[in-house]
Amino acid sequence: MTPDRPGYGEFGGHLDVEAIRADFPLLARTVRNDKPLIYLDSGATSQKPVQVLDAEREFYERHNSAAHRGTHLLGEEATDVYETARTKVAAFIGADPGEVVFTKNATEAVNLVAYAMGNARTGRFHIQPGDEILITEMEHHANLVPWQQLCERTGAALRWLEVTPEGRLDTDHLDELITERTKIVAVTHQSNVTGTIPPVTDIARAAHEKGALVLVDAAQSVPHQPVDVAALGADFLVFSSHKMLGPYGIGVLFGRAELLAELPPFLTGGSMIEVVRMEGSTFLPPPQRFEPGVPAVAEAAGLAAAVDYLSALGMGNVAAHEESLTAHALDALRELPGVRILGPDTTKDRGGAVAFEVAGVHPHDVGQVLDELGIAVRTGHHCAWPLHRKLGVQASTRATFYVYNTHAEVDELADGIRYAQRFFGTAR
């Protein structure tokens, strides 16, 4: 994508969606019954523009070599590609390059912090019986299970903020739940089910007043809205490339420099060592300390291209476009008898994920009917089982929006739900 082309970037505060869609070859294909594809599952994974595909291809065709290894030209070029990607990602979230660790995905990034804390024997990361870890009921399993496991290994207690019937985070008892025993607060920046955006900045402030650290799961926010780690008050922040137009296989852990310097390694091996002797080893400073093995340079090149693409669009424009689509979807689904929207029914402090249940029709059946119409949505508990239970459902159907979606597709979604209701005889 070239930022100076008409319709890109700051363009009256709007996105030229037709021009954007031209960059995504997959969106032009047909699916079941030769229907045009309507892709409403970007919360699970986004589609990739040609600019990202070309960046990966160019690396393999021109620069393929192991970064941070060898002194030949290709090795130098690979290292430059990799570290340039780190610099771009850091700027995208308001961090310094040395505070950006590349991981396999957001899930691995959370596990890195959790397991490294479990490996700490002294200092602020050391966890022992009597310590507490605070999470919330709206977390993705990736920001829940690693903390459960850490508590099991160390004897710490897991506590959580509850969710209101409206799908908001109940922070009325925040000061009671964050205590001098709280070691870390792990909270999502945006629910992958309801789209709810909790008051992360307020939570971080309360945590820091008690001496606790804060990890933010930004997998659903960094791709969709401007995010500044300092403004959020995040000590750690994680997200995945594949949800923000980039390739699979690479994610990001942001950590404040002084914290990464104290954090022990998670995985060990080549590339992260300083000196190795048979009697023992010492480790490089961050971020290399947390990146053992051969770096995923092609994936980093693709992620850098995704950052360039989104930066050219303007993240404010991206957020405004998705808010418009979400408002349209909420209005359209609210008018359908027998359809219940999970979570907030306005766009206030809410992102572009709309999960719903259709009375009398299982979510998997809704998804299958929509699939026959060419509409790709997500069904199930979306790796957020406790949240679904709190909202009184076992599963839901979820539509998630991105830069390439249109208002016409929102109307098709509503029409598809009506068709599913007629098909299963539940229409009112």
> Helix %, strand %, coil % for the chain, to 5?
40, 15, 40
What is the Cα–Cα distance from 24 to 381, expressed in whole angstroms? 28
All residues at 6 or more sequence positions from 172 whose CB lies less than 8 Å from its CB, including other chains: none
Judge whether 383 counts as a catalytic residue: yes
Contact between 214 and 208 (Cβ < 8 Å): yes
Question: For residue 330, what is the enclosing H or E element?
Answer: helix 315-334
Query: What contacts 388, CB < 8 A, 6 or more positions away?
Result: 193, 381, 382, 394, 395, 396
> Residue 245 region, left (φ>0) first, then alpha (ψ -120 to 50), else beta?
left
CB atoms within 10 A of CB 35: 14
The Cα–Cα gap between 206 and 423 comes to 50
Determine the straight-line distance between the first and last CA of the chain, rounded to whole angstroms.
46
Distance, in Å, from the CA atom of 368 to the CA atom of 300, rounded to the nearest integer, reads 35
Question: Contact at 8 Å (CB) between 331 and 339?
Answer: no
> What is d(CA 96, CA 124) in angstroms, rounded to the nearest whole number?
22
Among the options 50, 319, 383, 414, which is catalytic? Answer: 383
| Residue 412: other Cβ atoms inside 10 A | 19
The C-alpha atoms of residue 344 and residue 347 are separated, in whole angstroms, by: 7
Q: How many CA atoms lie within 13 A of 425 on its CB side?
A: 0
The CA distance from 194 to 287, in Å, is 34
Query: Running DSSP on this structure, what letter comes out for residue 241?
Result: G
CA separation for the pair 259, 400 (Å, rounded): 34
| Residues assigned a catalytic role | 383
